[in-house]
Structure 1
Amino acid sequence: MASENLDDWVRPRPTAAQRRADVWTGLAVAAVAVVNLFLARRSGFYELPHRAALAEQICWVLATTLPLVVRRSHPDVVAVLISIAFVGGQFRGSQEQQVTTGVLFAAIYTLGAWGRHRNRSRFLRLGIIVGMFGWLVLSFVIFSRELGDPAERASLAFNALVVNTVFFAFCHLMGDAVWNGARQRHELEEQAAELREAQTLVAERAVLGERVRIARELHDVVAHHVSVMGIQASAARRAMDKDPARSRTALTAVEEGARTAVDELRRMLGALHSPAAGTEAQDVVPNAGIDRLPEITDRARDAGLTVRYAVYGDPVPLPESLSQAAYRIVQEAVTNTLKHAHAKALDVRVRYLSGELELDVTDDGRGSSTSDGGLGLVGMRERVAVHDGALEHGPHPDGGYRVRARFPYQAGVVL
């Protein structure tokens, strides 16, 4: 994570492609260094009395350059081996110093950029740099007589000190910069992965929420009509022989309920396929509102209940979402009465109070079927909660069951 200490991060090992590139690079540099050794000997560069034989010089050149084939896989070991070989080659008078010097700088840079243990990498680089400056001073002391007059030696020493300081500092800082860049890329990749996980979780929650919403709407839209149809079909069966006229009336009600259920189900499915579907403010049945409550009570009356429906107070325009929520709550309460309460009478009251709408549905049955885990009660609670209302449900003191919901609203505000 971005908040972690940088020293706690371990850079991943190089990829297979990077390791192959290192092998070819190391072999190519070794070949160039050997060729450059022959050119230096032929031109007389670094022609010192104590120079080693050609075979030994080739060995020192290879010992200095070939470790590059694993420079990113084992940067600490490579840096140490190249440093030792570089000093050994110079001590033995190797005439190839151009390519091998560049190899030494590359090894220090690679250790800074690819060292997997940050503290060890840092101290090892500093140790190599200090050791190289120590060798620089020692070489001037050992070979000072072979470098010309004192003024020439002083000038050469100053030049070597400045050049080496610049190059070592550049390699050290560049290695840190590359390592920090890799660290930042790692952080960005982690953040991107976390973002993808969060997006996946949000999408899963959205799908789950949509499934719950569809299930709730199916329950609200279809269950009410199917329940009424079942009760009316049962009444028609019982009255088939004794009262054919009543049986025909009940079957007609079943037919109308089935037609209404299919129509509302078709509307709901159409709304679910619509790109704008899914918002809480838009109900799947656009005309379901508080003005349609008499239709619910009429169906309950057709099912054989004695229904009393009354509106108290002066009706006021309500926001569309609130009107739809009121319709669904009354619908669910009446459905529960029809399905489970075995009631004979139903009382539905709508009260327009000062800044508050109250819905009161009471039956004289044996009690509620709406359990705390029921989908119908969950839907009621959600609709009430959306509008900052309050829901009460439970046995009525005079017998039966009561559902009462209160919704606050601002007079004159219609959305």
Structure 2
Amino acid sequence: MKLVLLVVGTAALLVGFTRWENPGADLPTLAAISFAVCLPLALCKRLPLTAAILASGISLLGSVIPGWPGRLVAMATLCCAAYYRPLRLSSVVAVSLVWVIGYGILSSKMGPAADLIVLGVALPVVGYALRLQRDRTGQTVRLRLAEADRVAAEERARLARDVHDSVGHHLTAIRLQAMATRRALGGAPALADRVLGTIDDLSSSALSEVRVLLTTLHGSPGLADIGDLVRRLSTADRRITVLGTAAPLSPVVDHAAYRVVQEALTNAVRHTDATEIDVCLRHDRHGMEITITDNGTVGAEVVEGHGIRGMRERVRVLGGTLSVGPRPRRGWSVRARIPA
């Protein structure tokens, strides 16, 4: 319904403006050419280049009508083509140049060749710039969401460790004391044995419940969640490919592997101009190997921030190794080996 209103409304504006500028224009012809040049607007999102070609061609036909501003619709479709057609700016520029030159010939307003070239390139460049701004804004939002998820996960892990170290320790101590006292009493008196038995059972149940709560609180993502991570960080100008699959791992190794991939991808997106990022997962009976490479430009020296140190610490605690640095020709490489 919105597209119908857009087409009809724009066509009506073209007719009204032309009749105001040129009262003698033939109304049926004017209405037909105005509606025809506006129809491609409905295709701008699905078939942007096709819409631009159609609108440009129709606007050339209508240029013979004095005072008809249909070229504005063609300009809009050319900008939309550059906005909605990623990585194909050259084809949009070619169509734009042909249209500008053709319109100049038919309307007898050629002007200097340099002006025509600038105008022809400017139309798609505006759309391309708007698309870059959109992608940059979306990338910023996704990075902030990913960072918020990471901070929340770290906070949950910290709380889980605190609860485990404090509550879990005391409950375990209570249970051990109760068991030792029961063995020392040897079942006499009966009342004390029952009370200590109750303490033993309650502390054991409490320990089990604490472990379940800690598992829920930790909410540890694993390699199965890499797909969501890749979708959040991918854009039209950045392709992230995951190669290989991981066999079932222990929760600790699975979570550590996910965090390594998450931090490496975030660093590649935030600190490099990489357009291709590959995540390679290999698993054998000895453990898990993770390799993240990109084609971005990097400095000569590796500066280890909190993220790299965090990855190194996670892998080291599990007895693994981590290497981070520039690749021989171009790009960045992160390789982690985590024993099973």
> Could you tell me the TM-score, scaled by structure 2's length?
0.48
Q: Which has the larger radius of gyration?
A: 1
